[in-house]
Amino acid sequence: MDQTWNVEQAGRGFPLVLLHGLGASSFSWRENIGPWSRHYRVLAPDLPGHGRTPPQAVPDFHLETLTRELLGLIDYYDLPRAALVGNSLGGSLALLLAREAPERFPALVLLAPAATLARLPRLFYPLRLPLVGWAIAALLGPRTVRLALHQSYYRKEFVTPEVVAGYAVTFRTLANRLALRRLVCQIDRWPKYRVETLLGQIKQPVCLIWGEQDRILPPDQAWWLKKRLPQAELHLLPDIGHAPQEEAPEVVNEIIIAFLAQSIKNEAEQPLHPTK
């Protein structure tokens, strides 16, 4: 696989792989990596065309391709087993990884996952337009980041200059901005029956975390998912938007550490590379 992926790493122990959302980066886990790394080995990659991972790290941006390339990345870091933590688009990728290699991913944490694989934030829809979409992509920048954060966060005081600057890294290069358009255009729009088939194949323990004020993926989708993932525990957080790990990091950290302590207890006690 291409070794140009940027991956933030911390800690030791059973691995957690963190998958961020559309237009975000590993920066979205800034309040979580430290606390989680006291218990686990944490790896937070920037998806291609996001953060500091260049778009040429993958041949295209179809979800199946991203899933395959993520498996290659996990192999590159020699992780035979890992728990997955995904927000929004990252939640979709976590579900696809869990279906493709269930024996490798014994637990899933999904924070407002884009599980329908069909809905994009309205802010990104203009990127799909022929010709005009290219021009819009070329103009993406800090102003776009600020607008996107106002849509993602329920509490506007979180949209600080420091947070805008942290997210703006994704939009610094023209290649990244054009890659974001490619991703938006290539995301598959799955019919509901196909999503339900996927969810029916997920047997691992699941922790669902959702903000009650999520304007991008409304919380009624949490109940739809819970019905189709009966093994899942669901946490609805009041006065929180689309990025619970950023708006309520202490609460989310506590929920996830407690969930993983139970769901991968046996896994964490076993060596990652059993003696043959």
Domain map of the chain by residue range?
Answer: 7-120+189-269
Report the candidate in 201, 185, 248 with the shortest Cα–Cα distance to residue 96.
201
Report the candidate in 196, 175, 211, 219 with the shortest Cα–Cα distance to residue 53.
175
CATH superfamily, domain at 7-120+189-269 = Alpha/Beta hydrolase fold, catalytic domain (3.40.50.1820)
- Average pLDDT over every residue of 114-121: 66
Please determine, for residue 41, whether its predicted confidence score (pLDDT) is greater than 80.
yes
Stronger pLDDT, 215 or 2, i.e. the higher one: 215
pLDDT per residue as tens digits for the range 182-203: 888 888 778 888 999 999 999 9
Residue 273 three-state SS: coil
- Average pLDDT over every residue of 191-216: 95
Query: What is the pTM assigned to this prediction?
Result: 0.92
pLDDT per residue as tens digits for the range 132-146: 777 777 777 788 889
In what order do the strands lie in the sheet containing 206-211? 7-10, 41-45, 15-19, 83-87, 108-111, 206-211, 233-237
Q: Angle at the Cα of 116 (from 65 to 255), degrees rounded to 5? A: 95
User: How high does pLDDT run on average in the chain?
Assistant: 90
Rg of the Cα atoms in the chain: 18
Stronger pLDDT, 183 or 244, i.e. the higher one: 244
pLDDT at 265: 80
* Cβ contact 92:117 at 8 Å: yes
Provide CB contacts within 8 A for 158, sequence distance 6+. 149, 246, 247
- Greatest alpha-carbon pair distance for the chain in Å reads 57
Stronger pLDDT, 49 or 177, i.e. the higher one: 49
pLDDT at 89: 94
